[in-house]
Chain A
Amino acid sequence: MFDVNEFILKKAKELGFGDVVVLSHEMNRRQIRFANNEITVAKNWHERKVELFVELEKRVAGTTITELSEENIERTLKTLLSNMKGMSPKEDYYGIAEGPFQYRDIPETFDKAIVELDELGEYVERAINAALEEGAKRVAGVLYTDHNRLYLTTSNGVEAFDEGTGIEISVRAFIGDLESGHGTNSVRVLKKFDPESAGRKAGEIASLARNPEQGPEGKFDVIFDPLAFANLLSYMSFMTSAYAAEAGFSFLVNKLNQKVASELVTIKDIGNLPNGYGSRKFDDEGVPTRETTIIENGTFKTFLLNTSLAKKYGTETTANAGLIMPRAWNILLEPGDYTREELFEEVKRGIYITNVWYTRFQNYVAGDFSTIPRDGIFLVENGELRPIRNIRVSDNFQRILEGIKALGKESHHIHWWEVRTPVSTPYVLVKDVGITRATI
Chain B
Amino acid sequence: MHDLVEFAVEKALELGASYAEARFEEKTGTSIAMKNGVPEGLSILADKGIGIRVLVDGGMGFASTNVLTKESISEAVKKAVKLARAASKVRNEPIVFSEEDFHRVSYKVKMKKDFRDFSPEEKLELLRKVEEEVKATGVNVPMRYLSYSDQLWKKVFLNSEGAYVKSKIPRVSITYNLVVFENGQMEQAPFVQRAFSGGLELIEKDEPWSWAVKDVLALKKLIYEGQKPPEGRVDLVISPEVVGIAVHESVGHPYEADRIFGREAAQAGESFVKPDMLGERIGSEAVTVIEDPTIPNSWGFYLYDDEGVKARPRYLIKDGIITEFLTNREYAAKLGQRSNASARAINYNREPIVRMANTYLAPGDYSFEELIEDIKLGVYMVSFNEWNIDDRRYQQRYIGREAYLIENGEIKHPVRRPILEITTRALWSSVDAVGKEVEFFPGTCGKGEPGQGVPVWMGGAHARLRNIPLRRP
Contact = CB atoms under 8 A, between A and B. Distances in A.
B76 A44 contact: yes
Nearest to A247: B145
Interface in B6-62: 30, 33, 35-36, 38-49, 59-62
A36 B43 CA distance: 42
Contacts of A390: 390, 394-395
A47 B83 contact: no
B468 interface: yes
B89 A121 contact: yes
Given A32-B87, A61-B44, A124-B90, A362 B38 contact: no
A86 interface: yes
A191 interface: no
A361 B42 contact: no
A138 B262 contact: yes
A92 interface: yes
Contacts of B473: 368
Given A125-B90, A247-B35, A392 B421 contact: yes
A365 B189 CA distance: 11
A392 B48 CA distance: 41
B42 A87 contact: yes
Interface string B251-273: 00000000001111111011010
A38 B90 contact: yes
A37 B87 CA distance: 12
A439 B469 contact: yes
Interface in A340-375: 357-366, 368-372, 374
A324 B41 contact: yes
A62 B41 contact: yes
Contact of B68 (A39, A67, A171): A67
B105 interface: no
B166 interface: no
A30 to B, nearest CB: 8
B382 to A, nearest CB: 15
A49 B66 contact: yes
A249 B30 CA distance: 23
Interface residues of A, number: 87
B65 interface: yes
B182 to A, nearest CB: 14
B202 interface: no
Interface stretch (B106-114, B117-125, B157-165, B302-310): B117-125
A360 B387 contact: yes
A437 interface: yes
Contact of A370 (B43, B63, B119, B386): B386
Interface string A118-138: 011100110000000000001
Contact of A66 (B38, B66, B144): B66
A358 B269 CA distance: 11
Contacts of B79: 44, 46
B121 to A, nearest CB: 5
B86 A42 contact: yes
Contacts of B75: 46
B179 interface: yes
A170 interface: yes
A417 interface: yes
B92 A374 contact: no
Contact of A372 (B41, B178, B187, B388): B388
Interface in A134-182: 138, 140-142, 170-172, 174, 177, 182
Contact of A357 (B60, B91, B387, B391): B391
Nearest to B95: A40
Size range of the interface on B? 35 or more
Contacts of B188: 248, 363-366
A357 B399 CA distance: 18
Given A35-B264, A89-B39, A361-B190, A392 B44 contact: no
Q: Which of B79, B387, B394 has the most CB of A within 10 A?
A: B79
Nearest to A434: B473
Interface string A79-99: 110011011111110000000
Contact of B179 (A67, A365, A370): A365
Given A248-B179, A368-B386, A87 B349 contact: no
A246 interface: yes
B128 to A, nearest CB: 9
Contacts of B387: 360
A170 B62 CA distance: 20
A253 B121 CA distance: 30
Interface string A43-75: 111111100000000011111111100000000
B186 A366 contact: yes
A62 B143 contact: no
Interface in B370-411: 385-392, 394-397, 399
Interface in B425-466: 426, 449-451
A40 B267 CA distance: 13
Contact of A363 (B62, B119, B266, B385): B385
Which 9 A-B pairs have CB atoms at the shortest separation, nearest pair first? A248-B143, A42-B83, A60-B41, A140-B265, A362-B386, A358-B388, A140-B266, A247-B145, A63-B44
11 contacts: A36-B265, A44-B80, A61-B42, A66-B47, A248-B144, A249-B177, A324-B40, A360-B386, A362-B399, A365-B179, A439-B469
Given A34-B90, A141-B266, A171-B266, 13 more contacts: A42-B59, A46-B72, A46-B75, A47-B64, A60-B41, A140-B262, A172-B266, A363-B188, A368-B386, A372-B395, A390-B395, A437-B421, A438-B426
